Each structure stands twice: as structure tokens, then as C-alpha cells.
Amino acid sequence: VYFVPAFVGLGAPHWDAAVKGMITGLTRGSTAGHLARATLESIAYQVRDVFDVIQLETPAPLQVLLADGGASANDMLMQFQADILGCPVLRSTSSDVSALGAAYLAGLAVGIWASEDEILRLPRKLDRFDAQMPEEQRKNLYHDWQEAVIRAKLKPSL
């Protein structure tokens, strides 16, 4: 089951405002769990779409993804993200990285830290998710995602 969450069109890297959301692959045996999983997996597939474009546009290969924010609290999503990218995903153990960044900036302003380099040397605890999916399975799943996106683009007016 694949879910293409195009509620207001598709963003990067597709940039197509006419596309509508779509669920494909439903059978009589599909359950609410399949839909929930497809919804989570759609996040990882969309990250992969952008990740691949970045890989094409940058001279140095991306070797790791740093994740934070609300969705990153989901271990299943982080593992699937690592699997579908084929590279490690590192998740901050801090629940609000934006607030932490603001605190670092405030600390710089009042002299708690002398430089950004000093902040970068502070110990950070990260959860690590390594890709465990076989390459052939990764290719097949991502190919099927791309097919679902193509299907969603075929009938944008429905």
C-alpha cells in the first residue's frame, strides 16, 4: 500500500500543484495498519525524493541524514528512513532542537560560549539507525513509490 500525500499538490522535487493525494495497492486484506504504515512510509519516500536530487546537485555524496522534530520520535519511521535511503539516520535525543539552537545563540550572545566552534565541540547524544534492508528490496519499494507518484500525476483533476 502506498499513500501519496498531495493534499495541496506535490512539493520538492516534483513541484506540481495540480496533483491530488492518492492511496494505491489496497486489497480486500488491507487493514488500518497498512494505511497507517503507508502514511509513515510516505514521509520517508518524500525525503528520499529530495535526498536523491541533493545527491545529484552536490559534489560530495551525502553519507548520513540528521533527523529531528516530532515525526523523528517514531523509531519505525527512522528505521524505514535509513532503510529506504541506504544510509544511517542520526536522531537527536533532544526533543526540541530549535529551542536548543536558540539557547546556543543566546549563550553566544552573553558569553557562555566564545565561538560556534566551542558549541560544536559540546557532546551530543544521538540515536543511530543503520540501513538493514537488502538493496534489491530497497530498489523495488522505491520504484513502486515512484510508480504511485506517477499515477497520482496522471489524473490531477479527479
What's residue 122's pLDDT? Answer: 86
Sign of CA dihedral 27, 32, 37, 43: positive
Show the beta-strand stretches assigned E in 30-99: 65-67, 89-92
Residue 157 confidence class, pLDDT cut points 50, 70, 90: low
Residue 158 confidence class, pLDDT cut points 50, 70, 90: low
* CB of 26 closer than 8 Å to CB of 4: no
Rounded to whole angstroms, how far apart are CA atoms 110 and 148? 52
Sorted by where each starts, the structural domains of the chain and their CATH numbers stand as 2-154 (3.30.420.40)
Q: What is the mean pLDDT of residues 112-130?
A: 90
What's residue 121's pLDDT? Answer: 87
What's residue 129's pLDDT? Answer: 98
> 10 Å Cβ neighbour count for 153?
17
| Span of 14-28, 94-108, 114-128 with lowest mean pLDDT | 94-108
C-alpha distances out from residue 35 to 79, 109, 137, Å: 18, 47, 20
What's residue 67's pLDDT? Answer: 94
Residue 100 confidence class, pLDDT cut points 50, 70, 90: confident
pLDDT per residue over 34-46, tens digit each?
999 999 999 999 9
The pTM is what? 0.86
SS3 74: coil
Q: What is the mean pLDDT of residues 132-144?
A: 98
Percent of the residues in the chain that have a pLDDT greater than 70, as a whole number: 97
Rg (CA), the chain: 19
Residue of 139, 100, 140 lying closest to 120 (CA atoms): 100
Q: What angle do CA 20, 25, 29 make, to 5 degrees?
A: 130
Over the chain, what is the mean pLDDT?
A: 93
Show the beta-strand stretches assigned E in 22-124: 22-24, 65-67, 89-92
Task: Indicate if the pLDDT at residue 71 is higher than 90.
Answer: yes
